[in-house]
Structure 1
Amino acid sequence: MKLATWNVNSLKVRLPHVLAWLAENPVDVLCLQELKMDHPVFPLAEIEAAGYRAVWYGQKTYNGVAILTRAPLEGEAVVTGIPGFEDEQRRVIAATVNGVRVICAYVVNGEAVGSAKFEYKMAWLAALERYVAEELARHPALALLGDYNIAPEDRDVYDPEAWHEKVLCSTPERAAFQRLCALGLSDAFRLFNQEDKQYSWWDYRAMMFRRNLGLRIDHILITEALKARAAGCEIDRTPRKWERPSDHTPVVLTLSQ
């Protein structure tokens, strides 16, 4: 079983990329973030023609998340948003696939440390932590995939000194990431790759991708039950080389049966 996450930065623009990537990489589950697409105009027909089902939580111009899956969804109903947390921004969707509870999350960017948007980010992360804790009590096999907008360690940043205590790399954000892990989750990528300079996002400007000046902010956190099945996790840089790419690229987790 393969699960992947990808912030596509506009599904309308990047739909051909998603379809081409799925044709070459027929993962079982693909979590998408930043659809930037109103709910009614989601391209379901194109997704289904590619052999996938989809559930989504769209929002015009901003945000939006989706789960694409080859297998039927199971049991518990699809959940949109963080239960109990009032939020106009559409950033979370959850479903169960092949016995795995999949939560797709697009974490708030936060703009700048100390700003109102940063305070919203920290409140949002606290609500996410509460929700994930509740889900873990019901689902021993759980994966939290998405664009976290957090680089967990200095080795996840091309220039730690320049990014020191800046948004995405600040102590409060990194502490929030560690609190998620402390619930019983592991960073799947770091189970297999301990190297520096492994990134999933590169700014469009100043040839940042060509120079590999990026951040690792797209993550897959998994429970102990899935950790025992984890066979590999990698960042696929290929789509970032395509014409008009997203500034993010997919992260893919492989699970044994």
Structure 2
Amino acid sequence: MLPSPTEIEYFLEISKTLNLSRASERLGITQPTLSMSVKRLEQNIGTKLLIRSKSGVQLTKFGQRFVGSAQNMLQEWEKLRAIALSEKNEVQGQYVIGSHPSVALYSLAHFLPQLLHDYPKLHIELAHDISRHITEKVISHKIDFGIVINPIAHPDLVIIKLASDQVTFWTTKKNRNPHTLICDQNLLQTQDLSKKIRNHDDWNFERIVHCSDLQVITDLVGHGCGVGIIPTRVAKKGKNLVVYGEDPPVFEDVVTLIYRYDAHDSLAAKTIIESIKKVFV
């Protein structure tokens, strides 16, 4: 078990005075409390630090050696405390923000430039993956904040709804392949919409082009390659896309901000959270 900073501080005071009574007075504690602290420190280290006598105390050979190490340990502890207090009260430090690349395109540019400009000591790393993987990495402390779609509730997560979105069918007025559907067949949204159109003749696509990148789907649809299943917020970043058909089926998405409830009480973390929330107000 590692010694506590308090135990080290008490020991160093004894090493200066070589008198338990005087050391306890200077520390503002009782002599029995000081003696118990030294005893715990000796037990943790596994050897004696003091030799007690009627005239006071003397340091053992190891006690003399330990003084220098204890001073270094206490200095390092004070440095760590200063860093912790600074990060808690100033907007600084390193944080990782994760999102799907498509979500990043309609969110990051609306808060990150100003955030980096206002806080030069703040360092941001971006991570991109599907929302499910981003959520897993937030839970496992690998990512600090996630802007994710439809996360599953977890006891360690704070989930804040930022906005709604609708996934539906998109095309262009110059679509040369109206019977071709372009989509990511692995997405829950695609699977749900495919079931909804299965028994409708007006929605009978002769072929399906599987594509795992929503930006590529958006670009292909914009160039007349077919009809795409795309989130509305992503489709609006494309060129000349329009909703396909009359009253097409939709899948309701929820855009959320997630982070661990136990990990972000610093001023920097609170500032990042508020900056992200303002994008979707």
Judge same fold: TM > 0.5, yes or no. no
The alignment's TM-score, normalised by the length of structure 1, stands at: 0.25
**Bigger Rg over Cα:** 2
Considering fraction of residues, name the structure with more helix: 2
